[in-house]
Structures are given as structure tokens and as C-alpha cells.
Structure 1
Amino acid sequence: MADLFLMVGLPGAGKTTYAQKLAKETGAVRFTPDEWHLFLFGDDFHQVEQEIHDSRHNRVEDLMWKVGQDLLQKGVSVILDFGFWVEEQREEKRLEAAALGAETKVCFLDTPLEELLRRLERRAAQNRDDVFSTITEEDMQAWAGLFEPPVNPWRHIRSS
């Protein structure tokens, strides 16, 4: 049986690092939208209207999930490194994966906001050319207010 791993957490929580490790350990195919988005559109966060950025990002995630569903049907495990900030998003994917015969596992990286802000500051000081270079403290504060930690009883893997 294939597994669907949902990486849950805010930007900078360590989701992609953990997803890379999990992919090596399990052989699952990893889908990280930021990597594809940067390749296709560059770092357009704060560069174009938010609506355009969000539309592009949503299309990348939709394509990844379409390919992910095909893989799950073939018995290949999949890692969706999407963040899944809202319980409704996690439940939707769990139900869709169950319909394909896959089990869903939530990997919740429960990183405190103060640490996320420190990580952003460190990355900014390193002048890294990645998606995090344009995230502000205000962005992170706003997103933390929207985030819904997992509460459903299905299997959780907690990390920080």
C-alpha cells in the first residue's frame, strides 16, 4: 500500500529538509511547490500582484497532486510538501488518497514562531537567493494567525 505524506508547517519550519530525508528513507516521490514555482516563474512573491503569484502557485500544486494521484494508484508513495496550513486541506487530501487505497500520514513540524523568525533573519543575513529572501516578519506573523495545527485523529508524525 502506498503512503501519502503531508508536510504540515509554516515557511521555515523545516518541511523541505524533512521531506528530502523522508524521500530517501522511504523511496517516496517528493513534490515541493516552491522548487517548481521558482523554476517556472522565479521568485515572484512581492514582485507581481498577490493574485497572480497565488494563481501560479495553485496551478503548480494542482499539477503536482494530479501526478501524485497517478503515482499513488500505481502503489508509489508520495510526499506533498505543501504546508497544509488548514485542516480542511489535509482532510481533503486524506479522503482523496483513501479513495486510491493509500494511507495518509501527517508530518507536522511544530516550530515556534520565534524560531521561524530567527531562521528568516539568518537566511536574510546569508543573502540566499531563495523564496525565503522576500518573506517579511509581517508575512510570517499574518500566516501564523491563519495556521491550524493538526487535530484529527489520523496518524501524525511530529517534528520540530
Structure 2
Amino acid sequence: MKRPILYIFSGLPGSGKSTLAQRLAAETGAVYLRIDTIEQGVRDLCHYNVEGEGYRLAYRIAADNLQLRLNVIADSCNPIELTRQEWHEVAIESDTECVDIEVVCSDPVEHRTRVEQRISDVKGLVLPSWTQVTAREYHPWKSGVITIDTAHKSIDDSYNELWQTLTDWCSQHTGSVS
């Protein structure tokens, strides 16, 4: 039986990461885990000030699905080395492959416009301002990440680039994207 894949999406708000992650989930049938949804659910249902709990819940849900041999797409800012390592630990403990995907928008004017014009699709979630996005702690990747730059590209063009890059990655690591 083929090993499942944990697709770990990362990137600042407004980069296009959720759009690409959701499309990949829809096209592959992978389980989709969005940290924004999990954290907002904890806030709404438990009246709790969420910090790292959303990630820790997502790790457990991801592990459950990977153990069922299902591919999982993790959608989060994943801004620091700690969360990146913890996602990798989920893959290792689940005996699965994992691939890091960073989505960026390299044009600050376009990125700002996206951030300022976004409408939340998670009920109750207050989206960050441009000032909050640019002030967010976000560590540069050291290595081993697929980077998709969505600046000046359509969603289709960005997704096609992602798909081709993942196809190439998977042919080297697993044999198929599935």
C-alpha cells in the first residue's frame, strides 16, 4: 500500500495559500485542515484565547487521517521553525511522506491589495490588516521547500505551476501526486 503524503502549506495571509491548498484538496480528494477554521472554532465554542492550540489539534487530526492512509493538506501560516518541525514530526510518526510548500506574493503592492480586499470565508474570523501581516514573525525557509510565487499570475496559472512542481516532486519521492 502506498504511503500517504502530508502537504504542508505555508505563507503569509493574502499570499494565495488557502486558495491553492483548497483547490489541491478538491482535485485530489485529500483531507483539508485549515488552522484558521480550527482556531476560530476553539474561540467560538470554548471562549478561549488561542495561541498554539490550533496547530496542536491539527497535528492530531492530521495524524489520525495519515494513519488511515489518506493524504492530508495542512493550510496554515506555518511561520516559524518550531511549527515546521512539528509538522515533520507528524509525518515521521505516521510513516508518511511530507512536502513543504510555501506560497508567496513577491509584489508588495499586489499583496497589500489582496490583504486589504479579502473577505473572510471563516465565520467570525477577523482578518489581519496589512500592518499586522507585515509585522508578523515569519522565518525564512532554510531549504527543502517548494515555493510558488503568485504575484502577477492568475489562480489557474499558480495552480498549474503548483501541480507541475508537485508532479515532479512526487515522481521522485512516491510515484504519483494522488
TM-score class, shorter: 0.7 to 0.9
- 1:17-96 equivalences under 5 Å are 17-42=19-44, 53-55=49-51, 58-96=52-90
8 Å Cα contact 2:102-2:146 kept in structure 1: yes
In the other structure, the counterpart of 1:136 is: 129
Of the three residues 122, 125, 146, the one matched with 2:117 is: 122
Work out which of the residue numbers 150, 154, 158 in structure 1 matches 2:141: 150
Q: Residue 77 of structure 1: CA displacement? A: 0.9
For 2:123 and 2:68, locate their aligned partners in 1 and report how far apart those are by CA, in whole Å: 36
Q: Distance between the aligned counterparts of 1:132 and 1:40, measured in 2?
A: 14
- 2: distance between equivalents of 1:3 and 1:97? 8
Report the aligned-residue RMSD: 2.7
Say which structure, 1 or 2, has more relative contact order (CA 8 Å, 6+ apart): 1
TM-score by length of 2: 0.68
User: How far is 1:38 from its partner?
Assistant: 3.2
CA displacement 1:79-128 (0-9 Å, x = unmatched): 1112111133213321331232111111210113433211122237x9x9
Q: Any unmatched runs of 5+ in structure 2?
A: 151-178
Runs of 5+ in structure 1 lacking a partner? 43-47
TM-score, L = length of structure 1: 0.75
Distance apart, 1:159 and its partner CA? 4.1
Could you say which structure has the higher helix fraction? Answer: 1
Conserved? CA contact 1:11–1:83, under 8 Å: yes
Question: Which amino acid letter does the alignment assign opposite residue 50 of structure 2?
Answer: D
Call closer, same or farther: CA 1:40–1:54 in 2, change over 3 Å. closer
1:35-91 Cα deviation digits (max 9, x unpaired): 23334535xxxxx9xxx5333xx3232222111101111211111112111133213
Question: Between Structure 1 and Structure 2, how many residues are aligned?
Answer: 144
